[in-house]
Every structure is written in structure tokens, then in C-alpha cells.
Structure 1
Amino acid sequence: MDVTTLHSIGDLSRRTGLSVRTIRFYSDSGVVTPTTRSPAGYRLYDRDALLRLELLRTLRELGIDLATIRRVLDRELSVAEVAAAHADAIDVQIRMLQLRRSVLRVAAGRGSDPEETKLMHRLTQLSGEERRRLIDEFVEGAFGTADADPAAVSMVRAATPDLPRDPSSEQVAAWVELVELMGDEDFRARMRRTAMCQAGGRVLGIESEAGEELTRFTRQKVAEAMKSGIDPLGNRATPVIDDLVHRFAVAFARTPDAEFRDWMAQQFEEAHDPGVDRYWRLVWIVNGWQVVPDLIPVYSWLVQALRTPPAGVDSRGRQRPETGHGRG
């Protein structure tokens, strides 16, 4: 054999970038065996050994374990098979890292304590089956009664929250809040009552008496205000709500005063619970659904705005004294 075609460990080290110590370890492990030895007893390797080492290094840098690499080198497995399996494993690792990143960002943003951080981490680690079981328990707890409306159950199940494989920080926060809501017994009762009204398509008394045109106009105006980011408790909501109060007062032949506003708020509160509205918003966030303006729970905004006294009027409907600068 022409020894000029063989490589010493030092030569392999220079060609592959692997250390002499590492190549010696692979050689002792039988992963790469020497072709022969020099007259002085040094190990010598042929071109096949060089190629095996180059492939070994590549696969190791891709994170594949040595036992699997050995099976590839021995042709028990193909590179394609190993690559596919390893890519799947990396997908799982990426998902776990993304979940951890989202939890950490939520914890940092909310200033979470250790217990809340552990809770968020545990809830995001639930398997798909565990999340479905949790939701099934909620639906059973809220609607597992003799008087439960099948339409209400179907409505809730049709919009089941499903945390995606790579949730954003917002989706993680929404999922944690949803779980807290679903475990609240009082909320379950409120959800049952409200969902049964919504699923049954029941029209509120105030809507029925006000008429379809005014009801549709009210939903449109409030939806527009919400889309514009108008705070129901702020001054920008005043002209919107004052106009609606005036229109309803005309329809009911009433005076648009504080008493009438309070009466309107009570009527709209009947089948529209703010906590339930929050539940649906959280479901939209978790599922990554686009918010449809026509489905925005407008009555929560409307009730809050109605409960806010008009400018210059206190909570009892009395005129506030002016506090501006006097004329000089």
C-alpha cells in the first residue's frame, strides 16, 4: 500500500477541524478505524475515514447523537431518515422554547410573582388532550344541568379556545386568564345564563320596544366607537352616548335624564355580562381570530358609558357646581 494516500491523525485534524483528542476518541470507540499503522506505530487513515469524519462532524453539529451517527455510518440508517426524525425533534424543542419565551415575556410584563409564573408555565405545558379535558369540565360545569339549552352548549363548543403550537405572549396571557375564568363557579353560572339568552336569539325588552332600526343604529354606533378606541368612561364617549340616550328617550317618550340613563343601563345589562364578553374576547385572542365588528359585544361598552354621569352632573344626577375661573 502506498502510504502517501493515508492520513495521520494530525492531518485528519487539519482537514476536518476536529481536535486530535476527539479523533483519537472516535478511533478508540470504533466509529472511525485506522487503516493501518506506520512503522513507528502511529495510526494512519484512508480517504473513507476522512469522509466518515467529515460526515460525523456535520451530523454532530446538527445535534444528532453519536449512537445514531454510528448507525448512519454503518448504513443501517440513511441520512434522510435521520434528518427527518431530527427535524421533528427540533420542531418540538422550538415549540417548547417559544412557549417558555412567551411565558417569560408575560411574567416580565405583568410583574408576576413566582406562583403566577409557575401557574402560567404549567398551563402552557398542558397537552392538547389535557386542554380539551379542562374545557369539557367547564362546559359540563356550566351547562350540565337539566335546563341547559343544547343551542347554548353548541355555541360555546363551536368556539372552543385552542392554544396554538407557537403562541404569542398575548395568547399565553389570554389562555391563562381564560383558565381562571373557566374555574370560577360564579362565572360558570353567569356564562350559562347569558349564553342561553344569546343562543336563543332572545331580543331584549328595550330592543323590542325601541324597534329594529334604533337597535341596529345603536349597535353600529357603539361598534364604531369601540373600533376607534373610544373609552366608555372618557369624554370622547359623551357625544355618542348623549345622542343615543336622546334617541331612546324620544322612542320611549321619556326625559333623557340621569334616571332614564340608569334605566337604560339596567335593561341592557339583563343579558349581557361584562365577564362573559371578556370570555369571548379572550377566545378570539387565543384562537388568533380576527375580531368581526358585528360580533363585538357592544353592550358592555354601552352599559359602562351609560353608568358614567354626563359632564357637569354627579352620580346622583345633580348638577355639579362650576369650578372654573371667575370672571375678573
Structure 2
Amino acid sequence: MKNHWLRVWLHHRDTILLTTALLCLLGAVLVPSISIKRNVHSYFLIADITQSMNSADMSINHRPVSRLEYTKRMMHEIVAQLPCHTRVSIGLFAGDAVAALYTPLHVCRHFSALHETIDHLDWRMAWTGNSQLRESLAITAKLLRQMPEATKAVFFTDGDEAPLLHAFNTRNLRDFQGGDGWFFVGIGTEKGTGIPKLTEDNQMIGYWSNESFAVQPNIAQVTASKSSGRDDSVALSDYDRFISKRDSTYLQKLAQEIGAQYINGDDTYDVLQTIQSHKSPRYEIVPFSIGWLLATLAGICLLGTSLHHETLRQLKQKFGIYRKQLKSKLFNRSEVVAHDNHFQ
């Protein structure tokens, strides 16, 4: 029986291959698919737009840029590399609150809208001059609970709190819930630099001075709303400047308190890999197309019709010649090495 089918194959090989290729192509045209389960990630990318993010201690292509510009570049790269089915929302942080510009959108379907939103992020969109990251976490958790799907928060911030934290204005986060799946991405350098003071037209008029941040502990909460206004005094010397740094230690401690994770924002790839490695809380059933598989099989069948016994024999003969030449070269080389070692 085996010999019978072998003879049939050898006699009608081309007909069988062409028929199989035709059937595969017809199947591919029908766009067949199978159902598979895949994880769905949803991210809330939050940009710190407070004035310390205007500090220019970062670089892009060896060109000095502000922390906010660097954040925007990183957000662009992250969105561009996320899988198509990922959903993303863009948010702003200033004062003690976070605002979402929209609910999470499909990355590929709304690719242009997401990038345009990131392009237009600006420090002048801030509704207050303070920067109270710790206070904003409760509002962020409430905001995430109102989103239509489980979403992970990714804060891009330098961790610079203003007014400075002390015993009177440090919120206790012992009972905080909802930090799992959150990430703090530290933007800036450990060396730090001054915070530029800018006009409404984005023109630099100086630097924020140390006195601007010297808030007395017993009046910090009372003056929080008043201190958000613009002070036109200018720091005239390097000594007077308030030096803003990436507070990695504080961000790590804050992340540990709420069960989040801290990432240094020095490399986009590390940030992307870290946020994607976290397990997704939800999944969906989607169709997976197998048309490409049928088309590939049709191509193999068509290729098989051009390979006759004579062609295979010639290929085998050429491969044998090439193998003999390779062995000959290796053997001659080993003899030369042995000869040289003998006379050394």
C-alpha cells in the first residue's frame, strides 16, 4: 500500500502540489482565524507639569532640554512601541491633583491623537504653582476607579515637593490602597540645577530663589493657596538659586509606602520593559488570523513544483563538492599549523 501511494505521488506530484496551493490560496482569501486569549494593558501616563520640570538638566541627542521636554520625548517613544491593542490615557499633575484628558484609547486607532496630546503638554497648563505629589495620590486612585477598565498609573516626575514636606504637611499613607501596578518614573539628575522663572510668553526672566521655598512649617497649609501666585522677584546669583534635583530616594520611599514601583527615567527601554512586565489584570478573546500560514504553505507548494529529481540531484552534487572543498581547506590549514609548531 505504501509503495502504491508513493507511485501515485511521484506520477502526479505537480498536480497534487498545484491543487494544494490553490486550496490554500482560496482558504487565505476567506481570512480564516482562531480565537486566542491575550492580556490587555491599559496605562495612565501622567506628566508632571509643575515649574521644577522646566529645569534643563536632561539631554536629547546631546542637546540640553528641560525635564518636561525629555518626558514628552519618552512618552512619545513609549506610545510608539506599545502593542496595538494597548490602551493609553494622558494626564497632568500639578498642585495636589491629577487630571485625565480622556479615558484610555486604543494606541493604534488613536495614534495621532495621543501623539498630538503629548506634543501640546506645557507647564502653562498647570492650575497652581505648588507641587504636592504625595497629596495627589488619593485623587489619582479615585480617578482610576472611575475609568471603564483597570488602568495602571505611570507618573513622570522629578519628585520635587513644593512647599517642602515636614511633620505638619506629610500625609500618612499607611492605609492607602490602589498602588499596585503604579509606577514612578524619576526625571532629572542627581546633580540638579536651578528652576527657571518664566513669563506667560515662556520667556525666561531669572531663577526661583531659595526664599521662594522657605515656607514656615506652622503656616505651610494656610499659605498653600497664596503661594501659588507668581512672584516677580528674580534670583540674581547662583547662590540665591533653589537647586532642584531628581529626588530618587523620596520617590523610592513613596513607591514602597503604597506598593508601587520606582524606575529611573534614564532609559526609555527600561521604563517600557518594566511597565509591560507587570501582570495585566484583564484579558480579552480576540481572533488570530491564520491566512498568512495558508499563503505560506501555498508558496511552498508552488516552489515544490519547480524542484524535479534532476534539480535535487544537482543540488546534492554541488553541496557534496562544497563540503569536500571546505574539508580540504580545513585539513590543509591544520597541517600548516602543525608544521609551524614543530619548528618552533
TM range, normalised to the smaller chain? under 0.3
Q: Which has the higher helix share?
A: 1
Please report the TM-score for the alignment, with normalisation by the length of structure 1.
0.20
Q: Which has the higher strand share?
A: 2
Q: Rg: which structure is higher?
A: 1
Higher RCO (C-alpha 8 Å, min separation 6): 2
